[in-house]
Amino acid sequence: MTKKRTWKFWTGRTILGLLFIGGLWLTNLIWFRPFNINHFYDKVFIELAISDPELVTQLGIPVLYDIYKEDLSDASDKKGWEDFLKLKDDLAALQSYDFESQSKENKLNTKILSWYLRKQIEGEPFFYHGYPVNQMFGVQSNLPSLMESSHKLRDESDIEAYIIRLSKFGAKFDQVLERLRIREEKGIIPPQFVIDRVISEMSGFIGKKGSNHINLEITNEDPVKSNILYTHFNSKLAQLEDLTDQEKEAYKIKVENEIRTTVFEAYGALILYFEALKSKATTKDGVWKLPDGDDFYQYQLSENTTTDYTPEKVHQIGLSEVARIKTEMWNILTLEGYTDTTKTLGEIIQKLNKEERFLYQNNDEGRKEVIDGYNDILDEINNGLDEAFDIRPKASMEVKRVPEFKEESSAGAYYELPLMDGSRGGIFYANLRDVTETVKFGMKTLAYHEGIPGHHFQVAIQGELKNVPIFRTFPLFTAYTEGWALYAERLAWELGFYETDPFGNLGRLQAEMFRAVRLVVDTGIHYKKWTREEAIEYMISNTGMTTGEVVTEIERYIVMPGQACAYKIGMMKILELREKAKSKLSNQFKLKEFHNVVLKNGAVPLDILEEIINDYINVSLINSDGLSEY
């Protein structure tokens, strides 16, 4: 054989060998257990994403976005069980990698992913517990929100995908109805008020009202053209310069037809279902009424707080914190001349809330002033954090009004994370349904919580982490994420942002009282069998929030058991760990360094956060200069 032929022979074999090895690697990566655990971490996330087109859109995942932008996520019972069983397979695969041989970084990755998978699997006995359609979330509000905030309308391809998605609303709602009927058979039926709220919300969405869907009264000339799915599409379409007016008009007609037929018919079917379900609903609100309800609530507390705290322990922590914060609030009120101790704290605060100096006009001009006010607050604190942070998120953030169609039953504010492709930053949504609910002395605290240095700081920084598996760039653990946001409120006070603002500090304490009261009323409703009315009365008397605000909050806790307990529990753990680090490190303690450790590891269960802080303390003690990696 000549040298030339020999070279070709071995080159050919080498290429074939590489192709074989590459194919084997790819096969294992996609269908089996990857050889490398780092590939496994990302495989878990990628498989989750490609099975959930709405998640891909919500996160704005590059490449995958365009592949799945015509699809809606499968909400069928079969798909639900397939996804659940896959969690078991993923955990088994993760456990098959030898833990002791993993790097320090991968041991942390494995601990976090293992905790998450285990906790989801523990919920198997409660697979059908909960109310997937309620006044806080569900297909009836999630889908329009997705189409308005995350589905891009940049070109004709996006437009066609938008129309195709509208055409799939009926199939999606049918899948949801299937799972609702299974729950109904098992006796898992939401309280009466939940049914009333969703019927009202959906009837309003299709521009009609009435107690009987068959005889609904039309409330405007054309509910389709005032619907957010149409108005949003119309406003985005107007910005596209590559289409002629004739082409734009043709697309608007297509969207109008899909909304009028497919979308509105899907909502009509869901309204009819809930109207029929009303006769089976009761006024019992706690999950104790459900099959194995007590065990379900303990599971919900564990998942949301990432602790093993019992309902009784959480309740007692709440009572203790309410008493402490109440004393601090009275101290400020007394210094400011509010000394009538015959009134409850709630009554005093409610009176303050109505003082003209603390209010905006309840109109569109007032709404604009609220948004501008939040932006001014955020600009101020963003320019004054160098003492506490040496890392900042790259993503931008804007303040927007909660979409009007869902503001009635939405919380006072919430944060939406930036898209992965960088096309949109974070959004701090403020509920402006009634501007008198936005009291000026409470605005700083809300802005710090939702924006800077709260949710936007933490979530955006986590999303921008490098050299970590994809799953670690998402805020998976409520106790950490909400605990950090509540910690951020207190941190702003410690850094002096309330120094000449006693009423602002009162607003901060009111917000902390609000979170402490949550511990009491959440466990009160679901563990101690309080009525909805008892919980409302307790929250009003201790927070000073308006009745409307409190009703919305209590109804939220009823459909999201345990979630509201995560805030205060998470905050207390972060503060506890900071004090531990201060005590152990003494003069070596640096606030920036502590924040780096907390933020650069992203959201983790609280027991794992404690391990991370303990490691930071131990290594810092060995190295008097601290750790550059932190």
Looking at the fold, whether 76 and 23 belong to one and the same domain comes out as: no
Task: Judge whether 102 lies within some domain.
Answer: yes
Assess whether 68 and 21 both reside in one domain.
Answer: no
Taking residues 102-131, what's their average pLDDT?
A: 97
Predicted confidence at residue 623, as pLDDT, reads 81
Q: Do 79 and 170 meet the contact criterion of CB atoms below 8 Å apart? A: no
The answer to whether the beta carbons of residues 110 and 37 sit under 8 Å apart is yes
How far, in Å, CA of 553 to CA of 576, rounded? Answer: 28
Work out the angle at residue 346's Cα, subtended by the Cα atoms of residues 342 and 349, and round it to the nearest 5 degrees: 100
CB 198 within 8 A of CB 140: yes
Q: What is the pLDDT of residue 23?
A: 42
Angstrom distance (rounded) from CA 281 to CA 400: 36
Residue 625 pLDDT = 54
103 by DSSP, 3-state: which? Answer: coil
532-543 per-residue burial string, b: 16 or more CB within 10 A, e: under 16: bebbbbbbbebb
**Stretch 96-109: mean pLDDT, rounded?**
97
CA 529 from centroid of its chain's CA atoms: 27
411: alpha, beta or left? (left if phi > 0; alpha if psi -120 to 50):
beta
Is the confidence at residue 504, as pLDDT, over 90? yes
Is 581 within 8 Å of 618 (Cβ atoms)?
no
Query: Is residue 617, in this structure, part of any structural domain at all?
Result: no
Is the pLDDT at 17 greater than 50, yes or no?
no
pLDDT confidence of residue 468: 94
Residue 601 lies in a domain: no
Same domain? 494 vs 539: yes
- Shared domain for 442 and 425, answered yes or no, is yes
Q: 308 and 168 share a domain? A: no
Among residues 100, 126, 152, the one where a domain terminates is: 126
Tally of structural domains, the chain: 4
Alpha carbon distance, N-terminus to C-terminus of the chain: 61
Are the C-beta atoms of residues 306 and 480 closer than 8 Å to each other?
Answer: yes
Residues 271 and 359 placed together within one structural domain of the fold: no
244 and 361 housed in the same domain: no
SS3 call for 151: coil
**β strands within 201-265, DSSP E:** 208-209, 217-218
Q: Determine, yes or no, domain membership for 589.
A: no
Q: What is the tens place of the pLDDT at every residue in 371-422? A: 999 999 999 999 999 999 999 999 999 999 998 877 876 778 999 999 888 8
Domain identity same for 218 and 184: yes
d(Cα 255, Cα 229) in Å, to the nearest integer? 8
Residues 6+ apart with CB under 8 A from 229: 144, 147, 148, 166, 255, 259, 263
Shared-domain flag, residues 114 and 183 = no
C-alpha neighbours within 13 Å on the C-beta side of residue 607: 12
Q: Is residue 585, in this structure, part of any structural domain at all?
A: no
Helix, strand, coil shares, percent, the chain, to 5: 65, 5, 30
Q: Tens digit of pLDDT for each residue in 365-378?
A: 999 999 999 999 99
The torsion angles phi and psi of 496, rounded to 5 degrees, stand at: 95, 10
- Do 116 and 143 have their domain in common? no
Residue that has been written with the tokens 């240095």 in this structure: 453
Q: Distances from the Cα of 338 to the Cαs of 334, 344, 508, 511, in angstroms?
A: 5, 12, 18, 19
Q: Which domain holds residue 94?
A: 38-126
Looking at the structure, tell me whether residues 26 and 46 fall in a common domain.
Answer: no
Mean pLDDT of 266-288: 97
SS3 416: strand
Task: Confirm if 378 and 399 have CB atoms less than 8 A apart.
Answer: yes
pLDDT at 11 over 60: no
Domain final residue pick, 255, 283, 311: 283
Domain presence at residue 352: yes
Question: Which of residues 28 and 84 earns the better pLDDT score?
Answer: 84
Both 167 and 25 in a single domain?
no
Q: Is residue 94 in some structural domain?
A: yes
Among residues 258, 283, 308, the one where a domain terminates is: 283
pLDDT of residue 549: 85
